[in-house]
Structure 1
Amino acid sequence: MKVSTKGRYGLTIMIELAKNYGEGPISLKSIATTHNLSEHYLEQLIAPLRNSGFVKSVRGAYGGYILADEPANISAGDIIRTLEGPISPVEGLENEAPPQKELWIRIRDAVRNVLDHTTIEDLANYTEEGESDAYMFYI
Protein backbone atom coordinates (compact mmCIF):
# COMPACT_ATOMS: atom_id res chain seq x y z
CA MET A 1 0.00 0.00 0.00
CA LYS A 2 1.34 3.36 -0.99
CA VAL A 3 -0.18 6.41 0.69
CA SER A 4 -0.64 9.23 -1.81
CA THR A 5 -0.45 12.96 -1.20
CA LYS A 6 -4.18 12.85 -0.36
CA GLY A 7 -3.47 10.80 2.76
CA ARG A 8 -0.26 12.61 3.65
CA TYR A 9 -1.67 16.12 3.26
CA GLY A 10 -4.92 15.08 4.93
CA LEU A 11 -2.92 14.02 7.97
CA THR A 12 -1.06 17.35 7.81
CA ILE A 13 -4.37 19.22 7.97
CA MET A 14 -5.60 17.13 10.88
CA ILE A 15 -2.34 17.47 12.82
CA GLU A 16 -2.41 21.26 12.45
CA LEU A 17 -6.03 21.36 13.64
CA ALA A 18 -5.09 19.13 16.59
CA LYS A 19 -2.19 21.40 17.55
CA ASN A 20 -4.68 24.28 17.75
CA TYR A 21 -7.56 22.29 19.26
CA GLY A 22 -9.69 24.49 21.51
CA GLU A 23 -8.07 27.71 20.29
CA GLY A 24 -10.44 28.52 17.45
CA PRO A 25 -10.59 27.84 13.74
CA ILE A 26 -7.56 27.57 11.48
CA SER A 27 -7.67 28.60 7.83
CA LEU A 28 -6.47 26.28 5.09
CA LYS A 29 -4.44 29.20 3.78
CA SER A 30 -2.37 29.26 6.98
CA ILE A 31 -1.82 25.49 6.83
CA ALA A 32 -0.86 25.72 3.15
CA THR A 33 1.56 28.57 3.86
CA THR A 34 3.15 26.84 6.87
CA HIS A 35 3.76 23.60 4.98
CA ASN A 36 4.32 25.09 1.50
CA LEU A 37 1.30 23.23 0.06
CA SER A 38 -1.35 24.17 -2.47
CA GLU A 39 -4.34 25.78 -0.76
CA HIS A 40 -6.54 24.65 -3.66
CA TYR A 41 -5.48 21.02 -3.11
CA LEU A 42 -6.16 21.26 0.64
CA GLU A 43 -9.65 22.57 -0.17
CA GLN A 44 -10.28 19.39 -2.14
CA LEU A 45 -9.12 17.25 0.79
CA ILE A 46 -11.10 19.03 3.50
CA ALA A 47 -14.46 18.18 1.87
CA PRO A 48 -14.33 14.41 2.54
CA LEU A 49 -12.96 15.07 6.04
CA ARG A 50 -15.91 17.39 6.72
CA ASN A 51 -18.41 14.99 5.14
CA SER A 52 -17.07 12.16 7.32
CA GLY A 53 -17.56 14.27 10.44
CA PHE A 54 -13.91 14.77 11.38
CA VAL A 55 -13.86 18.55 10.90
CA LYS A 56 -16.33 21.41 11.09
CA SER A 57 -16.18 24.64 9.15
CA VAL A 58 -16.57 28.02 10.81
CA ARG A 59 -17.68 30.89 8.59
CA GLY A 60 -16.76 34.51 8.89
CA ALA A 61 -13.77 36.79 8.84
CA TYR A 62 -11.98 34.70 11.44
CA GLY A 63 -13.35 31.40 10.13
CA GLY A 64 -11.63 28.24 9.11
CA TYR A 65 -11.78 24.67 10.33
CA ILE A 66 -11.82 22.95 13.71
CA LEU A 67 -11.80 19.31 14.73
CA ALA A 68 -15.26 17.89 15.34
CA ASP A 69 -13.95 15.66 18.16
CA GLU A 70 -10.98 15.54 20.51
CA PRO A 71 -7.69 14.66 18.76
CA ALA A 72 -7.33 11.58 20.99
CA ASN A 73 -10.55 10.17 19.49
CA ILE A 74 -9.43 10.36 15.86
CA SER A 75 -6.97 7.79 14.51
CA ALA A 76 -4.59 8.12 11.61
CA GLY A 77 -6.37 5.07 10.17
CA ASP A 78 -9.67 6.97 10.15
CA ILE A 79 -8.12 9.73 8.06
CA ILE A 80 -6.23 7.43 5.68
CA ARG A 81 -9.34 5.30 5.03
CA THR A 82 -11.44 8.43 4.43
CA LEU A 83 -9.03 9.84 1.88
CA GLU A 84 -7.40 6.74 0.40
CA GLY A 85 -9.99 3.98 0.77
CA PRO A 86 -9.44 0.53 2.30
CA ILE A 87 -6.03 -0.29 3.75
CA SER A 88 -4.60 -3.24 1.82
CA PRO A 89 -1.13 -3.98 0.41
CA VAL A 90 -2.56 -5.81 -2.64
CA GLU A 91 -5.80 -5.90 -4.59
CA GLY A 92 -7.64 -9.16 -5.25
CA LEU A 93 -6.51 -10.77 -2.01
CA GLU A 94 -9.15 -13.50 -2.36
CA ASN A 95 -7.43 -14.75 -5.55
CA GLU A 96 -4.00 -15.21 -3.97
CA ALA A 97 -2.50 -18.62 -3.23
CA PRO A 98 -2.74 -19.51 0.50
CA PRO A 99 0.92 -18.79 1.45
CA GLN A 100 0.92 -15.36 -0.22
CA LYS A 101 -2.57 -14.58 1.02
CA GLU A 102 -1.44 -15.20 4.60
CA LEU A 103 1.56 -12.90 4.12
CA TRP A 104 -0.57 -10.09 2.67
CA ILE A 105 -3.13 -10.43 5.46
CA ARG A 106 -0.39 -10.20 8.11
CA ILE A 107 1.08 -7.11 6.44
CA ARG A 108 -2.37 -5.51 6.10
CA ASP A 109 -3.20 -6.21 9.74
CA ALA A 110 0.14 -4.82 10.95
CA VAL A 111 -0.33 -1.57 9.00
CA ARG A 112 -3.94 -1.26 10.18
CA ASN A 113 -2.83 -1.82 13.77
CA VAL A 114 -0.28 1.00 13.61
CA LEU A 115 -2.66 3.41 11.89
CA ASP A 116 -5.61 2.58 14.14
CA HIS A 117 -3.58 2.90 17.35
CA THR A 118 -1.93 6.17 16.39
CA THR A 119 -4.14 9.13 17.15
CA ILE A 120 -4.01 12.61 15.71
CA GLU A 121 -3.11 13.73 19.23
CA ASP A 122 -0.05 11.43 19.18
CA LEU A 123 1.07 12.96 15.90
CA ALA A 124 0.41 16.53 17.04
CA ASN A 125 2.47 15.99 20.19
CA TYR A 126 5.42 14.43 18.39
CA THR A 127 8.66 16.38 18.47
CA GLU A 128 11.91 15.96 16.54
CA GLU A 129 13.58 14.85 19.74
CA GLY A 130 10.95 12.17 20.23
CA GLU A 131 9.85 13.62 23.57
CA SER A 132 6.15 12.93 23.05
CA ASP A 133 5.58 10.38 25.79
CA ALA A 134 8.08 8.09 24.05
CA TYR A 135 5.50 7.02 21.47
CA MET A 136 6.96 4.44 19.09
CA PHE A 137 5.74 3.37 15.64
CA TYR A 138 6.04 -0.36 14.98
CA ILE A 139 5.15 -2.17 11.79
Structure 2
Amino acid sequence: MKISTKGRYGLTIMMELAAKYGEGPISLKSIAERNQLSEHYLEQLIAPLRNAGLVKSVRGAYGGYILSKEPEQITSGDIIRVLEGPISPVDFTEEDDPAKRDLWLKIRDSIASVLDSTTLGDLISFKGENELDSYMFYI
Protein backbone atom coordinates (compact mmCIF):
# COMPACT_ATOMS: atom_id res chain seq x y z
CA MET A 1 0.00 0.00 0.00
CA LYS A 2 1.42 3.34 -1.02
CA ILE A 3 0.12 6.45 0.70
CA SER A 4 -0.48 9.23 -1.84
CA THR A 5 0.01 12.96 -1.35
CA LYS A 6 -3.64 13.10 -0.20
CA GLY A 7 -2.81 11.00 2.84
CA ARG A 8 0.58 12.58 3.51
CA TYR A 9 -0.59 16.18 3.17
CA GLY A 10 -3.78 15.41 5.09
CA LEU A 11 -1.65 14.09 7.94
CA THR A 12 0.43 17.28 7.72
CA ILE A 13 -2.70 19.43 8.05
CA MET A 14 -3.89 17.43 11.03
CA MET A 15 -0.48 17.53 12.75
CA GLU A 16 -0.36 21.31 12.32
CA LEU A 17 -3.83 21.63 13.87
CA ALA A 18 -2.83 19.25 16.67
CA ALA A 19 0.32 21.24 17.43
CA LYS A 20 -1.79 24.40 17.84
CA TYR A 21 -4.70 22.65 19.59
CA GLY A 22 -6.45 24.98 22.03
CA GLU A 23 -4.91 28.13 20.52
CA GLY A 24 -7.81 28.92 18.18
CA PRO A 25 -8.40 28.36 14.49
CA ILE A 26 -5.51 27.95 12.06
CA SER A 27 -5.82 29.06 8.44
CA LEU A 28 -4.96 26.74 5.58
CA LYS A 29 -2.91 29.56 4.13
CA SER A 30 -0.56 29.51 7.13
CA ILE A 31 -0.28 25.71 7.00
CA ALA A 32 0.43 25.85 3.26
CA GLU A 33 3.11 28.53 3.69
CA ARG A 34 4.79 26.81 6.63
CA ASN A 35 5.00 23.49 4.77
CA GLN A 36 5.52 24.87 1.24
CA LEU A 37 2.32 23.23 -0.05
CA SER A 38 -0.44 24.38 -2.36
CA GLU A 39 -3.24 26.10 -0.44
CA HIS A 40 -5.66 25.09 -3.20
CA TYR A 41 -4.74 21.41 -2.75
CA LEU A 42 -5.11 21.64 1.03
CA GLU A 43 -8.60 23.10 0.52
CA GLN A 44 -9.53 19.97 -1.40
CA LEU A 45 -8.24 17.76 1.42
CA ILE A 46 -9.86 19.59 4.32
CA ALA A 47 -13.41 19.03 3.02
CA PRO A 48 -13.46 15.24 3.55
CA LEU A 49 -11.78 15.69 6.94
CA ARG A 50 -14.52 18.14 7.92
CA ASN A 51 -17.25 15.87 6.54
CA ALA A 52 -15.84 12.97 8.59
CA GLY A 53 -16.05 15.08 11.74
CA LEU A 54 -12.30 15.28 12.35
CA VAL A 55 -12.08 19.07 11.99
CA LYS A 56 -14.40 22.02 12.41
CA SER A 57 -14.33 25.21 10.40
CA VAL A 58 -14.52 28.63 12.02
CA ARG A 59 -15.73 31.48 9.83
CA GLY A 60 -14.66 35.08 9.98
CA ALA A 61 -11.62 37.28 9.71
CA TYR A 62 -9.73 35.18 12.24
CA GLY A 63 -11.26 31.91 11.08
CA GLY A 64 -9.70 28.69 10.00
CA TYR A 65 -9.83 25.13 11.21
CA ILE A 66 -9.61 23.38 14.56
CA LEU A 67 -9.60 19.73 15.54
CA SER A 68 -13.00 18.44 16.60
CA LYS A 69 -11.39 16.25 19.31
CA GLU A 70 -8.20 16.26 21.33
CA PRO A 71 -5.08 15.14 19.42
CA GLU A 72 -4.90 11.97 21.54
CA GLN A 73 -8.36 10.94 20.33
CA ILE A 74 -7.63 11.08 16.58
CA THR A 75 -5.51 8.34 15.06
CA SER A 76 -3.49 8.41 11.88
CA GLY A 77 -5.73 5.54 10.75
CA ASP A 78 -8.80 7.80 11.02
CA ILE A 79 -7.14 10.33 8.73
CA ILE A 80 -5.70 7.88 6.20
CA ARG A 81 -9.00 6.03 5.82
CA VAL A 82 -10.89 9.27 5.15
CA LEU A 83 -8.43 10.43 2.50
CA GLU A 84 -7.17 7.15 1.00
CA GLY A 85 -10.05 4.74 1.55
CA PRO A 86 -9.81 1.26 3.07
CA ILE A 87 -6.40 0.04 4.15
CA SER A 88 -5.41 -2.86 1.94
CA PRO A 89 -2.07 -3.72 0.33
CA VAL A 90 -3.77 -5.38 -2.66
CA ASP A 91 -7.22 -6.01 -4.06
CA PHE A 92 -7.91 -9.67 -3.69
CA THR A 93 -10.92 -11.86 -4.33
CA GLU A 94 -12.29 -15.02 -2.79
CA GLU A 95 -10.78 -17.01 -5.71
CA ASP A 96 -7.21 -16.12 -4.67
CA ASP A 97 -4.92 -18.75 -3.25
CA PRO A 98 -5.77 -19.09 0.50
CA ALA A 99 -2.09 -18.79 1.49
CA LYS A 100 -1.69 -15.52 -0.41
CA ARG A 101 -5.01 -14.22 0.91
CA ASP A 102 -3.85 -14.96 4.46
CA LEU A 103 -0.59 -13.08 3.82
CA TRP A 104 -2.45 -10.02 2.47
CA LEU A 105 -4.81 -10.07 5.47
CA LYS A 106 -1.87 -10.20 7.89
CA ILE A 107 -0.17 -7.30 6.13
CA ARG A 108 -3.40 -5.28 6.11
CA ASP A 109 -4.00 -5.96 9.80
CA SER A 110 -0.40 -5.02 10.70
CA ILE A 111 -0.63 -1.72 8.84
CA ALA A 112 -4.02 -0.98 10.39
CA SER A 113 -2.68 -1.79 13.86
CA VAL A 114 0.18 0.72 13.53
CA LEU A 115 -2.05 3.44 12.06
CA ASP A 116 -4.79 2.89 14.65
CA SER A 117 -2.39 2.92 17.59
CA THR A 118 -0.63 6.14 16.53
CA THR A 119 -2.48 9.29 17.54
CA LEU A 120 -1.88 12.87 16.47
CA GLY A 121 -0.62 13.44 20.00
CA ASP A 122 2.02 10.75 19.45
CA LEU A 123 3.08 12.26 16.14
CA ILE A 124 3.51 15.82 17.39
CA SER A 125 5.44 14.73 20.47
CA PHE A 126 7.75 12.35 18.57
CA LYS A 127 11.48 12.94 18.74
CA GLY A 128 13.63 10.87 16.43
CA GLU A 129 16.64 8.97 17.71
CA ASN A 130 19.02 11.50 16.15
CA GLU A 131 17.20 14.58 17.41
CA LEU A 132 18.56 16.27 20.48
CA ASP A 133 16.31 17.52 23.22
CA SER A 134 15.89 21.25 23.16
CA TYR A 135 18.56 21.95 25.76
CA MET A 136 20.89 24.87 25.33
CA PHE A 137 24.49 24.29 26.35
CA TYR A 138 26.86 27.15 27.04
CA ILE A 139 30.62 26.72 27.28
Indicate whether the TM-score tops 0.5.
yes
1:5 aligned to 2:14? no
Unaligned runs of 5+ in 2: 134-139
1:127 offset after TM fit, Å?
A: 2.8
Residues of 1 paired with 2:92 and 2:6: CA distance?
A: 23
Give identity over the alignment, percent: 67
Structure 1 gap segments, 5+ residues each: 132-139
Mapped partners of 1:57, 1:113: distance in 2: 30
Structure 1 counterpart of 2:54, one-letter code: F
Deviations 1:38-59 (A, max 9, x none): 0000000000000000000011
Would the alpha carbon gap of residues 68 and 110 (structure 1) be closer, same or farther in structure 2, given more than 3 Å must change? same
Partner AA of 1:117 in structure 2: S
What does 1:48-67 align with in structure 2 at a 5 Å threshold? 48-67=48-67
Q: Which residue of 2 aligns with 1:28?
A: 28
Aligned Cα root-mean-square deviation (Å): 1.2
Provide TM-score, normalisation by structure 1.
Answer: 0.90
Q: Which runs of 4 or more aligned residues in structure 1 lie more than 4 Å from their structure 2 counterparts after TM superposition? A: none
By how many angstroms is 1:130 displaced? 7.9
Once the two structures are superposed, what CA deviation does each residue of 1:21-51 show, in whole Å capped at 9, x if it has no partner?
0000100000000110000000000000000
User: Over alpha carbons, which structure has the higher Rg?
Assistant: 2
**TM value normalised by structure 2:** 0.90
Instruction: Give the total of aligned pairs.
Output: 131
CA distance in 1, matches of 2:107, 2:75: 19
Deviates more, 1:91-100 or 1:112-121: 91-100
- Distance between the aligned counterparts of 1:5 and 1:82, measured in 2? 13
Q: In the aligned structure 2, how far is the partner of 1:29 from the partner of 1:126? A: 25
